[in-house]
């Protein structure tokens, strides 16, 4: 059931990343109209969507392909949410220092990181049960 939703999200990110970015900016920033995306941010989001779809649609790979990226990203986001958030903003925006995130963004970054870490560990566990 989650796979079709994930595929839908991957398609949306590939075909129309601004439909994700625009609402996310409105939700996360006190000053969403001030953000200036770098010229390559949306093309990179499209590439991320393609990679996500490719990983989801491959028949020969199970959850193992996601284990390391999810675990590593989750580890950093859970333990160093401010650093992860600042890095992400710096990479995506020309004027990251001018953007003011809402108060809930930092704790949610930590929560999402913990979720990614758990998913990475579950993928590792799924690999072990597939090998038996």
Q: How far apart are CA 82 and CA 85, in angstroms?
A: 5
pLDDT of residue 63: 56
**Residue 94, Cβ neighbours under 10 Å: how many?**
13
Is it the case that residue 108 has pLDDT exceeding 60? yes
Rounded percentage of the chain residues whose pLDDT exceeds 70: 86
The predicted pLDDT at position 57 comes to 86
Banded pLDDT at 121 (limits 50, 70, 90): confident
Alpha carbon 70 to chain centroid, angstroms: 9
Tell me the domain boundaries of the chain.
Answer: 2-131
Cα radius of gyration (the chain): 16
Buried b (16+ CB within 10 A) or exposed e, 24-47: ebeebbeebeebebeeebbeebee
Q: Each residue of 18-71: pLDDT tens digit? A: 999 999 999 999 999 999 999 999 999 999 999 989 888 887 665 566 678 889
Distance CA 88, CA 12 (A): 20
**pTM for the whole structure:** 0.81
User: pLDDT tier at 119 (50, 70, 90 boundaries)?
Assistant: confident
The DSSP string of 15-36 is H-THHHHHHHHHHHBSSGGG--
């Amino acid at each position: 059931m989650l796979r079709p939703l994930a595929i839908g999200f991957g398609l949306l990110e590939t075909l129309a990343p601004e439909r994700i970015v625009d609402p996310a900016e409105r939700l996360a920033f006190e000053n969403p109209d001030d953000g200036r995306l770098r010229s390559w941010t949306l093309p990179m989001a499209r590439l991320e969507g393609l990679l996500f779809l490719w990983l989801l649609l491959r028949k020969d790979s199970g959850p193992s392909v996601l284990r390391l990226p999810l675990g590593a990203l989750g580890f950093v986001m859970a333990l160093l949410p401010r650093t992860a958030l600042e890095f992400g903003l710096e990479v995506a925006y020309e004027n990251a220092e001018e953007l003011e995130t809402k108060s809930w963004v930092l704790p949610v970054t930590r929560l999402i990181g913990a979720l990614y870490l758990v998913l990475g560990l579950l993928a590792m566990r799924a690999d072990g049960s597939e090998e038996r």
